[in-house]
Amino acid sequence: MSILQEFTKGLWKELPPFRLVLGLCPTLAVTNSADNGLGMGVAVIFVLVLSNMLISMVRSIIPKTVRIACFIVIAASLVVAVELLMQAYAYPLYQRLGIFVPLIVVNCIILGRAEAFAAKNGVAASIADGLGMGLGFTLSLTFLGSLREIFGNGTWFGHGVMWEGFEPMRIMIQAPGAFICLGLILAAMNMYNYWKAGKGKAVPAPQGGCGSCGCCSLERREDAR
């Protein structure tokens, strides 16, 4: 695969939270507003790109038996670095994200990409992979956060976007709202893929009795009877 493909696969085909359904803990927990989602996503991009780069650089000297420990050391150091930088330059964001910044260490996307990709591929490809996955994660979180903020609070990035007299659905910015939104997004994406694969088209009337179109297993079941 080319570098570009490594980059773009994280944006749709292997979109971490919605297609791989990985890294759901921060996805559900911090997306009660669009800028929280964006902030978390940027922190993950930073950690993911650098951890992929470092791991792919040192992959030949890491003994196979302690590779997970090495990956965790690298990821944990980067997360502490993010935490320090966030405290120094974006303190309000640090206060809002709270415990979820240190928890990036155990985010399965980081370790998953390290183990599945960076440990086997070159530096450039690993950076592209991390960037694509991180960007996909960020876009997903921002999208989910936007939906929840717009319907739950009537604002988007803190600016009012809904009409006068709009009654916000408080549940959307609370924990159940995260599950509802995630479920609807997953359903919509599956529907889109189903439709794109052509399975959603109207089935033409079968010519030689039911089951001849091969769309279902009705005939076989009838045979069994």
Partner 1 sequence: MIAIVRMVVVLSVLCGLSGFALSYLKMITATAIEEQELTYVQGPALKRVFTQAENSPIADRRGFTLASGEKVTVFPIMKGGKLVGVALENFGKGYGGPIGVMVGFNTSDDTLAGVGMTTMKETPGLGMRVADPGFTTQFMNAAAPVSLKNQGGKIDAVSGATISSAGSVEAVNKAAQAYMGLKPEIFKAWAK
Our CA dihedral for 88, 112, 128, 148, rounded to 10 degrees, sits at -60
81 touching partner 1, by CB under 8 A: yes
Figure out which of the listed residues 69, 187, 210, 215 binds partner 1, where binding follows CB under 8 A: 69
Q: If binding is defined by CB under 8 A, does position 60 make contact with partner 1? A: no
Query: Of 1, 4, 21, 66, which one interacts with partner 1 (CB under 8 A)?
Result: 66
The reply on whether position 61 binds partner 1 by CB under 8 A is yes
- Of 46, 41, 12, nearest in space to 26 by CA: 41
Q: State the number of binding residues for partner 1 (CB under 8 A).
A: 22
Supply the minimum distance, in Å, between the C-beta of residue 221 and partner 1. 55
Q: Decide: is 193 part of the binding site for partner 1 (CB under 8 A).
A: no
Sheet strands (E) in the chain: 155-156, 159-160
Alpha-carbon distance of 29 to 178, in angstroms, equals 8
- Work out the end-to-end distance of the chain between its first and last CA atoms, rounded to an integer number of angstroms: 49
Token code pair at residue 63:
């003994």
In the complex, least distance from residue 1 CB atom to partner 1, rounded to whole angstroms: 29
Count of CA atoms in the C-beta half-sphere (13 A) of 190? 8
**Binding-site ranges for partner 1 (CB under 8 A):** 58, 61-63, 65-66, 69-70, 73-74, 76-77, 80-81, 84-85, 87-89, 91-92, 95
